[in-house]
Amino acid sequence: MLNNFFYPQSLALIGASESKGKVGHAVIKNIIDFGFPGKIYPVNPKAEKIMGISAYPSIEDIQESIDLCIMIIPPQAVLEAIEQCGKAGIHSIVIISAGFKETGTEGAKLEYDLINRAKKWNMRIIGPNCVGIVNTSARLNATFSANIPPKGDISIVSQSGAILTSIIDYAAGENTGFSKMISLGNEADITETEVLEFLGDDPDTNVIAGYIEGVKNGLEFVSVTKEVSKRKPIIILKSGNSNAGARAVSSHTGTLAGTEKAFKAAFIKSSIIRAGSIEELLGYAKSFSYQPIPEGDRLAIITNAGGPGILAADACDMSTIKMASFSNDTIKRLRESLPPLCSIYNPVDVVGDADVKRFSIALKTVAEDRGVDGLLVILTPQEMTDAKGTAQAVVDTFHEYGKTTFTSFMGKVSVKEGADFLDKNRIPNIFFPEKAVRCFEIMAQYKRGLERSSDEESSFPINKVKARDTIDNHLKRRIFTLGYEESKDIILSYDFPIPKSAVAQNTDEAVFYSGEIGYPVAMKIVSPDILHKTDVGGVVTRLKDRDEVRNAFEKMMSTVKRYMPNAFISGVSIQEMITDGKEVIIGFTRDQSFGPMLMFGMGGIYVEALKDVSFRLCPLNRFDADSMISEIKSFPLLKGIRGEKECDLRSLHDAIIKFSYLSIDFPEIIEGEINPLIVRPKGNGVIAIDSRFRLKEEI
Amino acid sequence: MLNNFFYPQSLALIGASESKGKVGHAVIKNIIDFGFPGKIYPVNPKAEKIMGISAYPSIEDIQESIDLCIMIIPPQAVLEAIEQCGKAGIHSIVIISAGFKETGTEGAKLEYDLINRAKKWNMRIIGPNCVGIVNTSARLNATFSANIPPKGDISIVSQSGAILTSIIDYAAGENTGFSKMISLGNEADITETEVLEFLGDDPDTNVIAGYIEGVKNGLEFVSVTKEVSKRKPIIILKSGNSNAGARAVSSHTGTLAGTEKAFKAAFIKSSIIRAGSIEELLGYAKSFSYQPIPEGDRLAIITNAGGPGILAADACDMSTIKMASFSNDTIKRLRESLPPLCSIYNPVDVVGDADVKRFSIALKTVAEDRGVDGLLVILTPQEMTDAKGTAQAVVDTFHEYGKTTFTSFMGKVSVKEGADFLDKNRIPNIFFPEKAVRCFEIMAQYKRGLERSSDEESSFPINKVKARDTIDNHLKRRIFTLGYEESKDIILSYDFPIPKSAVAQNTDEAVFYSGEIGYPVAMKIVSPDILHKTDVGGVVTRLKDRDEVRNAFEKMMSTVKRYMPNAFISGVSIQEMITDGKEVIIGFTRDQSFGPMLMFGMGGIYVEALKDVSFRLCPLNRFDADSMISEIKSFPLLKGIRGEKECDLRSLHDAIIKFSYLSIDFPEIIEGEINPLIVRPKGNGVIAIDSRFRLKEEI
């Protein structure tokens, strides 16, 4: 528990200083100026008093119990200070001092020692190399930033001190309220995940914002944030995406997956709201802080000018937000109560000469409509405009109907009084209507995320024991690359239908099996040494009769042997040809941090050339499977075009879910792929045509 | 010429008023307060003096020459006032009064009469129903907005009075400088295009911004703005995109084209910079106003904190901007002059304790590098930070090296002095680094647009006379829908190669021609009544020998007759089969406002299901053709995947350009399509497999 960090009764500052310009001075001054109500013990061997408070030469000279210790001393002195704190029974330390891991090998060594020392004393540390922490709820400002935003219910955590400082400065200007602000520094001990978990339980925090560049443990991060975001929204700005780069792995899945993809998948899994910039981070946080989460995604726009109304409608059109369509009753009432020039459909245009009364009628009528989940009120300064009065009408309507409300009072100078009134009454007033629409969209998306189907596992007739046997068998024989023949028992065990097939050793067997299976058939070389069968002439399809089978068999044998004379060939597989359906690929790789990640895409060029794929972290539920399928651009092909029948999407969901279970059940599978998986027309299921797995070599 | 509107020596105000709260009062007060240096004649029969200036009962009582007349009177009085102005020889009128077309039929009638009256007197009109005009360069504020931004070189034109008012208010708060601000109102006479042309020639205007919802004449708009944007950037916010909707036309081209697409194509053709929001409109305008256009797109980032540097690098990665890579000399000098903890590659991180000197060294070293086209300087408020001093260093470096420079001083409170200094010295200081990168990107894109290959027409062996004959021939016979057989002479005349083919009337002819052409062949039904041949069994491909041809012919005849018993069948076309290359579609439709518009996409599902197409206005040059090809998502398929040879892109350019010429040369072709056009491997050209045209019925 991090309670002592944020709600201390007493604190010590090692390195507090009387000299202006020193960090040790700035921090103690901020603590005093911000009105910290607990006891403060400055520690400085060279001073009697600091800022009028008795100073102590060392920690051991303080004979009182201390909840929190803040260190602003040279890095070399930190180890000794830790030791002293340990002896004094202090368990919560914020190390602002820099000069550790971030400076190179020597600093890293120092940080390593520091952590070991702290562990010995059962001590928790924020930092080092951080800006400090703020808790407005406890009147604690243990940072060197003097301009702290007012008290509020947003808490923010940052892996960059500079970004946190900028945000503090910006938010102070914007008057947005915050509860806790935490600079994580080097995360030698306490990580972003632990702080997010703490904020999830913190009653003073309703909205969590964060700036992160990476996470220490992906699986832990996902499991914690997934739970927290059910209780309160987490909005994160993640940077470093451009450094992702392409990993040079041979399989499709590996080639396309990467750190950025894993983060994207992790955020989806955790229902984390992703901000694209600092501005979005703060804008979204403020929206959630000020307004209730909307019941749905239907927005009504009320404006006193056409242009901005159109801009807002355009923004809805380009987003996932729906323009609310009013009930007949609403339209009737608007028609009766507004002048004829007004537009009574959405956007409602009360036109330029609208006074407060007209705005008010429109507001209440629209807010009462059950088909409206949120309101955006646009006001441009015109002749008759009463910005303050209209602001009052907006606030009244909000209090009466409780619908999520945004405003765009489009002026800086002339509407200031109204705008300030709105802000004071927690209506987010955003100059640009497009941005207000975006904030509403984010809130509606969060709501949808909360509603998404529960994570209950689907149940399938999976034979884990048989799959285990197959894998162990291969591992025992040191076979790590499994082609179709080697892996089909695994996918059969996971309830994947496969085409009828048999392995033929010679031409006669090939002809015999083809007759049993039924024409047309496909023929594929079986060899653990050949990964890309097509490239060596190892695949022939659409063989229509015995002659074609005979010829194909002989040709394949000679071609493959010419290309790969040393390959071990177990035979040739004769397969049933599936002549309907669409080819897709499902595969998984393991992200070092986030674990197994599933990829989905349409087969062939869609994956390779167009990179039209989607990723999710495993395991998946039906909601995940559905969203990852509809996310790809070529989704219409699965829905059916030109009057084609829709593909069996339900079975495709099942296939994706089962494959994700496989990745969880067998950590020794490094990567796996079913390619192609044919999704047949609705009602006819899927069928796995080819599969490949790679097993971990050291077991 | 609109000179008298913006640089009048004298002006009259019909409807000027002494009563506060009236528009007629606000306007004359603003004119006086803004310091208009010319003569002012208030016209009001009920007043002797207005705001201390002698008033006149009517225009005819003023015995002086008047350059500009502003009307703020009831709509019913406007006609009479126009008449009086005509007699007094006044040729420039701004009608602020509302109550015209925007109110319905009666108002429209009044507006129609007004324009006829004005034409009679050779008079030009801005409005009616507008906010008025501003020209800070001539100290003229003929609007009812009191907060006017300072004098500058941006001019703005708006079709929404409310949006203009909001922009004026916002810009006044931002301190961005403007020259002219024009509210167009109903555009009864003077249109957006005429004003844009005037601003293009106005020496006080260096940057043009606009808010538009539509244009009066698309072709004129494009031809004017195309020329203007070569001299100065035009940035436009266009709204109303969501109303575009899908037109229910049967051909592919028609289905996918729409007003929004035409605007997009028009903006591309005119090199107009498109803003997505009011914020972007003003941000881009300010960037162009403050800074020189960069020579290229290589940006160097200098920061005193890692996090924001990464955010900026991410933004570059997601844009068309390149992170500049420094010369060895630059890197050597940075290494020698900066402390070892600093990062000397791009982004250059001078780290948290950077003072002005360190910033200054980094700035000058980087600015001197020939591989750097622009600088983004990020400053976060930290302990040693001297925002004002760093701002001075930025300004000095800019003056010395002249490279396009942006800053992100990331604070509102603590860096204010530095930020204000930057603004005063015309360095755009944008809090969020991502936005600064976007502004630089827009400027670099404008530069690229300026450099794009000249519009000189390519020359092709086109036989216009023969195409004219073919078309006339069909028109004479009242054949308006041309299938492949009817249209192939047109595409041959425009230098499109087509497959060898012949029309067979019976089985024997089919077999004979197939032998002549060479196997494999394709077979297609020839009928002016059948648009979608495939749907009625009218297409068979890959016929390998005479038996297959014989069978196919007979089957096709019977199937087609069963499906369409009343279709007139001219025979069956036997065609050479092209077995290499990729299928694309090129087509054109006519936009009511912008004229012929070309569509390009990959054949089949790419156009129909994935809507992966691009549009350009005709005629196209090579640059246009190249950019429209590389714009589609499936472009990699043309470049070749899996080691395939690249397609013959040069020939595809030619095909697109020639087809665009055809659309210009023959206005009687309403829509045309070559589908598929096969683009063969590099060096082997293209070949038109099928084509369709629709001719205008009334000639």
Domain encompassing residue A552: 500-576
> Hey, are the CB atoms on B609 and A641 less than 8 Å from each other?
yes
Which residues on chain B are in Cβ contact (under 8 Å) with A25?
Answer: none
Closest approach of chain A CAs to the CA of B553, in angstroms? 24
Same domain, B131 and B116: yes
Residue of A nearest to B275 (CA): A311
Look-up: residue for tokens 């579609």?
Answer: B585
Q: What is the CA radius of gyration of chain B?
A: 32
pLDDT band at B225 (very low <50, low <70, confident <90, very high): very high
Task: Kindly state the percentage of chain A with pLDDT values over 90.
Answer: 72
A237, A239, A605, A608: which to substitute to probe chain B, counting the most B Cβ within 10 Å? A239
> Is residue A515 located within the same domain as residue A440?
no
**Minimum Cα–Cα distance from A282: chain B residue:** B432
- Token couple for B463: 């036989």
Is A211 in contact with B307 (Cβ distance < 8 A)? yes
Contacts of B243 in chain A (CB under 8 A): 310, 313
Which of B29, B166, B417 should be substituted to probe chain A, the one whose Cβ sees the most A Cβ atoms within 10 Å? B166
In the listed set B533, B552, B577, which residue is the last one of a domain according to the structure?
B577
Using CB atoms, which residue from B163, B412, B642 is nearest to A307?
B163
pLDDT one-digit tens code per residue, B69-90: 999 999 999 999 999 999 999 9
Instruction: Please compute the mean of the pLDDT values over residues A661-672 and round it to a whole number.
Output: 95
pLDDT band at A255 (very low <50, low <70, confident <90, very high): very low
Let me know whether B186 and B312 are in one domain. Answer: no
Q: Which of A549, A576, A603 is the last residue of a domain?
A: A576
Identify all chain B residues contacting A306, using CB atoms and an 8 Å cutoff: 160, 162
Which chain A residues have a beta carbon less than 8 Å from that of B304? Answer: 162
From A162, A383, A610, residue closest to B305, measured CB to CB: A162
Query: Is residue A646 in a domain?
Result: yes
A521: closest CA of chain B, how far (Å): 21
**Residue A173 pLDDT greater than 80, yes or no:** no
Q: Is residue B322 situated within a structural domain?
A: yes
**Chain A residues within 8 A of B308 when measuring between CB atoms:** 160, 162-163, 166
Identity of the amino acid at A467:
A
Q: Residues, chain A, total?
A: 699
| Phi–psi pair at B441, nearest 5 degrees | -60, -45
User: What DSSP assignment string belongs to A412-459?
Assistant: SSTTHHHHHHHHHTT--B-SSHHHHHHHHHHHHHHHHHHHSPP-PPP-
* 3-state SS assignment for residue A655: helix
Assigned domain for B514 exists: yes
Based on the domain organization, do B54 and B72 belong to the same domain? yes
Which among B383, B432, B608 has the least Cβ separation from residue A279? B432
| Contact assignment for A165 to B382 by CB distance below 8 Å | yes
| B665-686 residue pLDDT tens | 999 999 999 999 999 999 999 9
CA–CA gap between residue A510 and residue A523 (Å, rounded): 9
- Mean pLDDT computed over A367-386: 92
Contact B147 A413 (CB under 8 A): yes
> String of b and e for A15-49 (b: at least 16 CB within 10 Å)?
bbbbeeebbbbbbbbbbbebebebbbbbbbeebee
Q: How much is the average pLDDT of B25-36?
A: 95
The reply to whether residue B435 touches residue A610, judged by beta carbons under 8 angstroms, is no
Residue B661 pLDDT: 94
Among B543, B577, B611, the domain boundary falls at B577
Residue B117 pLDDT: 95
pLDDT higher at A195 or A532: A195
B636 occurs within a structural domain: yes
pLDDT value at position B456?
61
Q: Which of B17, B25, B192, B239 to mutate to test the interface with A (most CBs of A within 10 A)?
A: B239
H-type alpha helices, B158-277: 161-174, 192-201, 218-231, 252-256, 259-270
CA distance A513 to A549: 10
Six-digit token pair at A699?
A: 């077991």
Report chain A's mean pLDDT, rounded to a whole number.
91
Percent of chain B at pLDDT > 70 equals 96
Length of chain B: 699
pLDDT value for B170: 84
Which chain A residue has the Cα nearest residue B102? Answer: A341
* Candidates B310, B341, B610; nearest CB to A634: B610
Claim to verify: residue A100 and residue A196 sit in the same structural domain: yes
Q: Tell me which of A238-242, A612-616, B118-122, B170-174 is least confident.
A: A238-242
Residues B328 and B303 in one domain: yes
- Looking at the DSSP bridge assignments, the partners of residue A182 are A133, A157
Cα–Cα distance, A326 to A308 (Å, whole number)? 20
DSSP labels, B87-152: HTT--EEEE----SGGG-HHHHHHHHHHHHHHHHTT-EEE-SS--EEEEGGGTEEEES---PPPEE
Whole-angstrom distance, CA of residue A288 vs CA of residue A290: 6
Whether pTM exceeds 0.90: no
The whole-angstrom distance between B581's CA and the closest CA on chain A is 15
In a shared domain, residues B446 and B354: yes
Q: Which of A163, A239, A307 sits opposite B160 (nearest CB)?
A: A307
Nearest by CB to B173, which of A26, A173, A412?
A: A412
B602 to chain A, closest Cα gap in Å: 13
Are A507 and A486 contacting, i.e. CB atoms less than 8 angstroms apart? no
Q: What's the mean pLDDT in B26-49?
A: 95
| pLDDT tens profile B610-654 | 788 999 999 998 889 999 999 998 898 898 876 778 999 999 999
Domains in chain B: how many in total? 4
Residue A487 located in a structural domain: no
A307/B341 CB distance under 8 A: no
Average pLDDT for residues B137-145, to the nearest whole number? Answer: 92
Per-residue pLDDT of B398-440, as tens digits, reads 999 999 999 999 987 778 899 999 999 999 999 999 999 999 9
The 3-state secondary structure of A36-66 reads: CCCEEEEECCCCCEECCEECECCHHHCCCCC
Give A398-416 pLDDT, tens digit per residue: 999 999 999 999 987 778 8
Q: Are B298 and B322 in contact (CB under 8 A)?
A: yes
For residue B612, which of A272, A30, A610, A654 has the smallest C-alpha distance? A610
Residues A38 and A7 sit within 8 Å (Cβ to Cβ): no
Angle CA(A519)–CA(A521)–CA(A523) in degrees, nearest 5?
Answer: 155
Percent of chain B topping pLDDT 90: 72
Mean pLDDT of A165-187: 89
Reading the block at residue A627, the tokens are 């969203």
Looking at residue A455, what is its pLDDT?
Answer: 56
Which residues of B are less than 8 Å from A242 in CB distance?
310, 313-314, 316-318
Q: What is the CATH number for A203?
A: 3.40.50.261
Query: Which residue's structure tokens are 């107009």?
Result: B272
Residues in chain B with CB shorter than 8 Å from the CB of A240 are 310, 314
DSSP B535-580: GGT-EEEEE-SHHHHHHHHHHHHHHHHHH-TT----EEEEEEPP-S
Q: Coil, strand, or helix at residue A227?
A: helix
Give B509→chain A minimum CA distance, Å: 31
Neighbours of B339 (CB within 10 A): 10
Whether B162 and A636 lie within 8 Å, measured CB to CB: no
Q: Which residue is listed with tokens 């002698």?
A: B54
Site from A30, A102, A169 to mutate, B interface, most B CB atoms within 10 angstroms: A169
* Contact: A242, B304; criterion CB under 8 Å: no
> B240: closest CA among B213, B277, B280?
B213
Tell me the residue ranges of DSSP E strands in A568-612: 571-576, 582-591, 595-602
Q: Are A437 and A408 in contact (CB under 8 A)?
A: no
Domain assignment present for residue B461? The answer is no
Closest CA to B85 of B93, B77, B76: B93
Task: Tell me if A372 is assigned to some domain.
Answer: yes
For residues B594 and B658, membership in a common domain is answered with yes
Q: Does the ipTM surpass 0.90?
A: no
C-alpha to C-alpha distances, A419 to A389, A416, A623, A669, nearest whole angstrom = 11, 5, 41, 58
Q: Please answer yes or no on whether B609 and A103 come within 8 Å at the CB atom.
A: no
- Alpha carbon distance A36, B393 (integer Å): 39
Report the gap between the CA of A489 and the closest CA in chain B (Å). Answer: 31
Same domain, A278 and A394: no
Do A569 and A591 reside in the same domain of the chain?
no
Nearest in space to A154 (alpha carbons), one of A121, A199, A94 = A199
CA–CA min distance B352, chain A (Å): 8
pLDDT at position B248 over 70 = no
Q: Are residues A560 and A607 in the same domain?
A: no
Please judge whether A314 and B432 are an interchain contact, meaning their C-beta atoms are less than 8 angstroms apart.
Answer: no
Structure tokens at A358: 């007209």
Residue A609 inside a domain? The answer is yes
B192, B311, B384: best mutation site toward chain A, by most A Cβ within 10 Å?
Answer: B311
How big is the A-B interface in CB pairs under 8 Å? 202
User: B172: which chain A residues are within 8 Å (Cβ-Cβ)?
Assistant: 412-413
Residues of chain B contacting A26 with CB distance shorter than 8 Å: 383
A543-585 pLDDT tens trace: 999 999 999 999 999 999 888 888 899 899 999 988 889 999 9
Chain B residue numbers touching A606 (CB-CB < 8 A): none
**Residues paired with B301 in a beta bridge:** B376
The radius of gyration of chain A's CA atoms, rounded to the nearest angstrom, is 32
Q: Which residues pair with B636 in a beta bridge?
A: none
Among candidate residues B655, B696, B678, the one with its CA nearest the CA of residue B482: B696
Q: List chain A residues with CB under 8 Å of B310.
A: 213, 239-240, 242-243
CATH code, domain carrying A673 = 3.30.470.20
- A314 to B239: CB separation less than 8 angstroms, yes or no: yes
Interface test with A, best of B131, B169, B317, B646 (most A CBs within 10 A): B169
Q: Which residues of A touch B381 (CB under 8 A)?
A: 165-166, 169
Q: Which CATH number does the domain housing residue A546 bear?
A: 3.30.1490.20
Q: DSSP labels for A134-187?
A: EEGGGTEEEES---PPPEEEEEEEES-HHHHHHHHHHHHHHT--EEEEEE-TT-
pLDDT of residue B457: 64
B452, pLDDT greater than 80: no
Identify whether residues B125 and B249 lie together within a single domain: yes
